[in-house]
Amino acid sequence: MPSTERLVLVVDDDADIREALREALEQDGYAVAEARDGSAALGYLRAHPAPPLILLDWNMAPMNGARFLEELARDPQLAAIPVVLLTADSRVDAKARPGLAGHLIKPVELEVLFEVVAKFCS
C-alpha cells in the first residue's frame, strides 16, 4: 500500500469538480481518492488507511455533508480525521459545525487550497 502521507480524499457529487481537484492536487505531488457522496466516502474510509485530510462538499445525494460528518464522528476509527469543507453554498454555517478543521468557499483560489492541504499533509 502506498504512503498515505500526501493523500487527500475528495468527497463531491460533481464529477467536474472532482476531476479539477484531482488534476490540481496531483500536479503538486498529492495523491487523490474520490467519493461521489457521503456513503461512498465512508465505504472508502472503512476499506483504506485513513488519509490525513478529507475535502468535503456539502450538498450531495444520497448522503450529504452533514450526515457524513455525523457518521464520521460516530465511528471512533475515523472521528479524528480532519475534514475541510469545500462548498459553493454560502448558506452553510461552518461555525455551527465544531468538528470541521476548515471551511473553503468555491470557487477557491488554488494557493489558499494548497496552504490548507499542506497544513494537514506534511
Least Å from the CB of residue 59 to other proteins:
4
Cα-Cα-Cα-Cα dihedral of 5, 116, 54, 62, to 10°? -160
Q: Is 121 in the site for other proteins (CB under 8 A)?
A: no
Q: Is 24 in the site for other proteins (CB under 8 A)?
A: yes
Gap between the Cα atoms of 44 and 118, Å rounded: 22
Q: What angle do CA 23, 21, 84 make, to 5 degrees?
A: 150
Q: Between residues 13 and 83, which has the closer beta carbon with respect to other proteins? A: 13
**Stretch of residues binding other proteins (CB under 8 A), selected from 3-11, 18-26, 47-55, 73-81:** 18-26
Residue of 61, 74, 95, 98 that binds other proteins (CB under 8 A) = 61
- Which of the residues 78 through 107 are near other proteins (CB under 8 A)? 88-91, 106-107
Residue of 50, 100, 101, 108 that binds other proteins (CB under 8 A) = 108
C-alpha cell at 92: 452553510
Gap between the Cα atoms of 16 and 11, Å rounded: 12
Residue of 15, 73, 79, 118 that binds other proteins (CB under 8 A) = 15
Gap between the Cα atoms of 114 and 28, Å rounded: 9
